[in-house]
């Protein structure tokens, strides 16, 4: 597969490179940090069942829509709608994607910086001998401070920019082909370790404190009594956001996919890889949580406050703590490079800039916003807009407004404005491969996906009175 298309643009050189990069974009903190605690808060197995259903019914068709638009136009999100027939009113998607990238990387790099701190703490064995309360205070003291979080955030942004500097083939594809297999190996090792913990028996009383098998039962056995409208919307929101839909990343990556690649199978494979990592994260976490008699409903603090307790009590916990937080960092990095690429690709193609200065300017500007988000827990904690600190405001705006609105406009454009023949031509590679499910996919994109995304959007704005599903 050629790496440079007829348009002379940089592009992916192999099928594995496409899967690794696109899956890397989708696989992030949302899978490993957010999925386990959202599943824990919403009933485990029944939540997982709805999550998988929404991935198949909504996620894959919407991802395919973005790939189709990107490859058809051979351009970034802004340029794509400028080039496509009847697409100019939808350039708003490209503009929102660029703005969303600033917002997302701002708060995302803050949390990614925390993961680097926890890699350092794990390596230095800082959790050893600490009580649960002391570990919780370690996190509280760290993220509300100034220079530590800012330093790690800056390092993370430098790593992100370094990969994007090199371009699609020599940067994004090269490094995701290394990072994604590494991520999979680490998470599989953690899964085996967590499941093999078995029963935890109090040596003094002989009473069973907990069992890792109960954690697997919680994750895979659906208890429908725990499912309500809020849990279903949470599953829909998690499915939507975990696939990097709506921010222009997949349009950008789609433009780098060769014309001989089967877009439908690529969308299915990327969605499968993303979902697999999320489920494996649950397998790595819930058995350990249950083994030690802790609650799966620990919320966002599950990773930073609860898991260090578990690691220090586990056989070989020192190594597994390092592996887990390294896993989080890799997942964050594979996502952050895709978000930065949206901005850089737009600057290179629309402003005719060279990649290196475009990357420096984009990364520097985003870092400024990131500094504000990081300081929102410390020096700027009292500064609030609409009752939210800057971190929460950026996260809420990106996750609950820009992304669902972008996704909604994308499916409306592909389903109703792009033209059925043009869509079919792209999905069938100009008629060289069969598009057996084209009718089903188009029906979902036209009628089901817009309604589902609208529900996510309205729920994120608080219309239904449920907890926002963004993240």
Strand partners, 199: 211
Residue 114 lies in a domain: yes
- Cα separation, 275 vs 55, in Å, equals 8
Hey, what long-range contacts does 129-132 have (CB within 8 A, 24 or more apart)?
Answer: 129/312, 130/308, 130/312, 132/305, 132/309
Residue 4 lies in a domain: no
- Read off the pTM: 0.90
- Cα separation, 265 vs 345, in Å, equals 25
How confident is the model at residue 6, as a pLDDT? 40
How confident is the model at residue 86, as a pLDDT? 75
How confident is the model at residue 467, as a pLDDT? 55
Q: Measuring CA to CA, how many Å separate 313 from each of 148, 181, 342?
A: 27, 28, 42
Tally of structural domains, the chain = 1
- Cα separation, 388 vs 372, in Å, equals 13
- Cα separation, 372 vs 147, in Å, equals 13
Residue 300 lies in a domain: yes
By the 8 A CB rule, do 67 and 268 touch?
no
How confident is the model at residue 235, as a pLDDT? 87
- Rounded-to-10 torsion of CA 360, 366, 369, 370: -100
By the 8 A CB rule, do 122 and 318 touch?
yes
- Cα separation, 264 vs 149, in Å, equals 41
- Cα separation, 51 vs 215, in Å, equals 18
Strand partners, 200: 210
- Cα separation, 408 vs 444, in Å, equals 12
HSE-CB for 278 with a 13 A CA cutoff:
34
Residue 3 lies in a domain: no
By the 8 A CB rule, do 237 and 459 touch?
yes
- Cα separation, 81 vs 418, in Å, equals 10
Residue 453 lies in a domain: yes
By the 8 A CB rule, do 334 and 27 touch?
yes
Per-residue pLDDT reduced to its tens digit, 124-175: 999 988 887 888 899 989 999 999 999 999 999 999 999 999 899 989 999 9
CATH, residue 248: 1.20.1740
3-state secondary structure string across 209-224: EEEHHHHHHHHHCCCH
How confident is the model at residue 10, as a pLDDT? 76
pLDDT under 50: residue ranges of the chain: 1-6, 468-471
With 0-12 / 13-18 / 19 or more C-beta atoms within 10 angstroms meaning exposed / middle / buried, residue 196 is exposed
Residue 468 lies in a domain: no
Strand ranges inside 243-310, DSSP E: none
What distance separates the 2 farthest-apart alpha carbons in the chain? Answer: 74
137 three-class SS: helix
How confident is the model at residue 5, as a pLDDT? 43
Residue 250 lies in a domain: yes
Structure token pair of residue 12: 């992916």
Strand partners, 332: none
Neighbours of 194 (CB within 10 A): 25
- Cα separation, 107 vs 52, in Å, equals 27
**Residues contacting residue 431 through CB under 8 Å, at least 6 positions apart:** 425
**Domain housing 129:** 15-460
Which among 164, 172, 183 has a CA at the least distance from the CA of 257? 172
- Cα separation, 25 vs 121, in Å, equals 27
Residue 70 lies in a domain: yes
- Cα separation, 302 vs 328, in Å, equals 13
- Cα separation, 340 vs 263, in Å, equals 23
Neighbours of 264 (CB within 10 A): 23
């Amino acid at each position: 597969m050629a790496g440079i298309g007829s348009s002379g643009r940089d592009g992916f050189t192999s099928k594995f490179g496409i899967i690794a990069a696109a899956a890397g974009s989708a696989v992030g903190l949302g899978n490993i940090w957010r999925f386990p605690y959202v599943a824990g808060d919403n009933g485990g197995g029944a939540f997982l069942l709805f999550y998988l259903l929404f991935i198949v019914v909504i996620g894959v068709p919407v991802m395919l829509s973005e790939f189709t638009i990107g490859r058809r136009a051979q351009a970034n999100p802004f340029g794509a709608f400028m080039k496509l027939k009847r697409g100019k009113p939808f350039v708003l998607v490209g503009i929102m994607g660029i703005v969303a990238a600033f917002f997302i990387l701002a708060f995302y790099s803050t949390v990614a910086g925390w993961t680097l701190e926890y890699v350092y703490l794990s390596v230095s064995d800082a959790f050893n001998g600490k009580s649960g309360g002391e570990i919780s205070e370690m996190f509280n003291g760290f993220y509300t401070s100034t220079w530590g979080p800012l330093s790690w955030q800056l390092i993370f942004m430098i790593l992100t920019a370094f990969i994007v500097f090199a371009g699609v083939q020599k940067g994004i594809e090269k490094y995701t082909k290394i990072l994604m297999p590494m991520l999979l190996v680490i998470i599989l090792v953690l899964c085996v370790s967590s499941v093999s913990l078995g029963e935890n028996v109090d040596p003094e009383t002989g009473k069973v404190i907990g069992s890792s098998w109960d954690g697997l039962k919680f994750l895979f056995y659906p208890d429908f009594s725990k499912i309500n409208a809020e849990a279903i919307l949470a599953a829909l929101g998690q499915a939507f956001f975990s696939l990097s839909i709506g921010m222009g990343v997949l349009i950008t990556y789609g433009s780098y996919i060769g014309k001989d690649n089967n877009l439908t199978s690529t969308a299915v494979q990327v969605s499968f890889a993303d979902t697999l990592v999320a489920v494996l994260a649950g397998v790595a976490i819930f058995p350990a949580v249950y083994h030690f008699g802790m609650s799966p409903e620990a919320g966002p603090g599950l990773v930073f406050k609860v898991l260090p307790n578990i690691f220090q009590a586990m056989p070989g916990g020192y190594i597994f703590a390092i592996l887990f937080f390294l896993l989080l960092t890799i997942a964050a990095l594979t996502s952050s490079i895709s978000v930065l690429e949206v901005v850089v690709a737009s600057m290179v193609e629309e402003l005719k800039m060279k990649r290196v200065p475009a990357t420096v300017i984009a990364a520097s500007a985003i870092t400024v916003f990131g500094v504000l988000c990081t300081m929102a827990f410390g020096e700027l904690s009292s500064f609030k807009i609409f009752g939210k600190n800057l971190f929460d405001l950026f996260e809420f705006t990106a996750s609950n407004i820009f992304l669902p609105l972008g996704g909604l406009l994308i499916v409306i454009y592909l389903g109703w404005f792009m033209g059925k023949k043009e869509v079919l031509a792209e999905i069938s590679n100009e008629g060289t491969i069969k598009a057996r499910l084209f009718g089903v996919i188009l029906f979902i994109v036209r009628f089901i996906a817009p309604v589902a995304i609208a529900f996510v959007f309205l729920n994120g704005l608080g219309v239904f009175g449920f907890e926002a599903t963004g993240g």
